[in-house]
């Protein structure tokens, strides 16, 4: 293991490059072993993690993609609340524009890589909360309006 690390350091320095690890350091992940070796690149220590981000998808050790869906839903809800502050009962963007925001901005953010996680997921509750908030933002109705009634509209 040390020989590989030395080889990598020599290759980096020999090519006139430098290793720059900022606050987002690479993490070794998906290990269920209790006594793990200490890993480092140069003088930078690598931490172990339960999740790792690869191509924008948050993967966990069992590939359930639950953390990815929860994070996407949380970000979409935060975005919808930002747009919700723009409108009131009698002023603000029209429901048509808010529908465009939902279908043109929020849905593509949530459904990115859906082909990977749609088959395996069981976390539809989080996606339902995004859909409900999106329907509330599109229409000027009370918060207590049933979701089934909003879906029918």
Residue 29, beta-bridge partner list: 49
SS3 state of residue 40: strand
Looking at the structure, do residues 134 and 99 belong to the same domain, yes or no? Answer: yes
Looking at the structure, do residues 45 and 74 belong to the same domain, yes or no? Answer: no
Q: Report the candidate in 109, 110, 86, 111 with the shortest Cα–Cα distance to residue 97.
A: 86
Looking at the structure, do residues 146 and 92 belong to the same domain, yes or no? Answer: yes
Looking at the structure, do residues 117 and 68 belong to the same domain, yes or no? Answer: yes
Distance CA 39, CA 27 (A): 10
SS3 state of residue 34: coil
Mean pLDDT by 10 residues, the chain (153 residues): 66 70 58 66 70 82 83 92 76 80 89 80 80 83 81 73
User: In the prediction, which pLDDT does 74 show?
Assistant: 93
Looking at the structure, do residues 37 and 100 belong to the same domain, yes or no? Answer: no
Cα 36 to its chain centre, rounded Å, is 28
Do residues 102 and 134 touch, judged by C-beta distance below 8 A? yes
Looking at the structure, do residues 63 and 36 belong to the same domain, yes or no? Answer: no
| Interaxial angle between packed helices 66-84 and 124-138, expressed in degrees from 0 to 180 and rounded to the nearest 10 | 10
Q: Which residues contact 6 (CB under 8 A, 6 or more apart)?
A: none
Domain count, the chain: 2
Looking at the structure, do residues 73 and 135 belong to the same domain, yes or no? Answer: yes
* Residue 38 belongs to domain spanning: 2-49
Looking at the structure, do residues 41 and 108 belong to the same domain, yes or no? Answer: no
Looking at the structure, do residues 107 and 138 belong to the same domain, yes or no? Answer: yes
Going by the DSSP 8-state scheme, the letter that residue 37 receives in this structure is P
Looking at the structure, do residues 146 and 72 belong to the same domain, yes or no? Answer: yes
C-alpha pair distances (Å), 142 with each of 56, 136, 152: 35, 8, 15
Looking at the structure, do residues 38 and 100 belong to the same domain, yes or no? Answer: no
- The pTM (predicted TM-score) of the whole model is 0.68
Looking at the structure, do residues 80 and 136 belong to the same domain, yes or no? Answer: yes
Domain endpoint, select from 15, 30, 49 = 49
């Amino acid at each position: 293991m040390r020989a590989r690390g030395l080889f990598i350091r020599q290759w980096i320095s020999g090519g006139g490059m430098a290793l720059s690890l900022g606050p987002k350091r690479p993490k070794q992940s998906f290990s269920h072993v209790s006594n793990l070796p200490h890993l480092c690149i140069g003088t930078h220590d690598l931490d172990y993690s339960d999740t790792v981000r690869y191509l924008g998808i948050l993967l966990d050790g069992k590939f359930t993609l639950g953390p990815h869906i929860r994070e996407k839903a949380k970000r979409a809800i935060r975005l919808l609340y930002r747009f919700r502050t723009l409108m009131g009962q009698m002023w603000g963007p029209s429901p048509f524009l808010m529908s465009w925001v939902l279908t043109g901005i929020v849905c593509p953010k949530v459904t990115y890589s859906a082909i990977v996680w749609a088959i395996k997921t069981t976390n539809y509750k989080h996606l339902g909360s995004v859909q409900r908030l999106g329907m509330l933002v599109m229409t000027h109705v009370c918060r207590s309006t049933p979701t089934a009634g909003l879906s029918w509209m």
